Amino acid sequence: MYFCYHSSPLGTLRLAGTDQALHQLFFPNAFAVGEAPDDWTYQEEPFTAARQQLDAYFAGKLKHFELNLAPSGTPFQRDVLKALQQIPYGETRAYSDIATSIARPKAVRAVGAANGRNPIAIIIPCHRVIGRNGSLTGFGGGLKAKQSLLNLEANHC
């Protein structure tokens, strides 16, 4: 597994993956869950496309990422992550909307938990999921970062 760090308006992001796919993108405060394992290798080359696309996204020039992704998770979690990728740029959905879209309308809390475990933040847009009443809810990067991402997209629709 390779990893690198990338500067963003939200702070330094950590990307991890292989030559074939991106497996993780974590916010700075998520580093507290652990530093990169000793058997990972620091290398920027596998993440050139991801870093370029992130820069374009933060500049308001990219609305859809075109990257090979390999998020970990249970089948249910992966279904939620796929549903998140269907939320259009600049739009939001409620957790109940995601639950309904994966044919599990009563699994709203489980959807929230899966959303919170998204291993590829920003690119799999978990920030686009909000409370049914329009309130911002928990976010791995913090609510300030979530609001920043939503504002960025609203300003470039």
34-47 pLDDT, tens digit each: 678 889 999 999 99
Q: How far apart are the first and last CA of the chain?
A: 35
Give the strand order in the sheet containing 11-17.
22-26, 11-17, 2-8, 41-42
Mean local confidence (pLDDT), 92-107: 96
Q: What percent of the chain has pLDDT over 70?
A: 96
Give CA–CA dist 128/144, Å, rounded.
13
What pLDDT does residue 108 have?
94
pLDDT at 30 over 80: no
Structure tokens at 124: 């799999």
β 129-130/22-26 pair status: unpaired
Q: How does residue 32 score in pLDDT terms, banded at 50, 70 and 90?
A: very low
The type of residue at 37 is P
Least confident window among 27-31, 100-104, 140-144 = 27-31
Angle between helix axes 108-116 and 75-84 (nearest 10 degrees) is 80
Q: How does residue 62 score in pLDDT terms, banded at 50, 70 and 90?
A: very high
- Active-site positions read 126
What are the angstrom distances between the C-alpha of 102 and each of 1, 107, 125, 149? 31, 9, 16, 25
- Nearest-CA neighbor of 13 among 84, 87, 119? 119
pTM, two decimals, is 0.93
What pLDDT does residue 31 have?
52
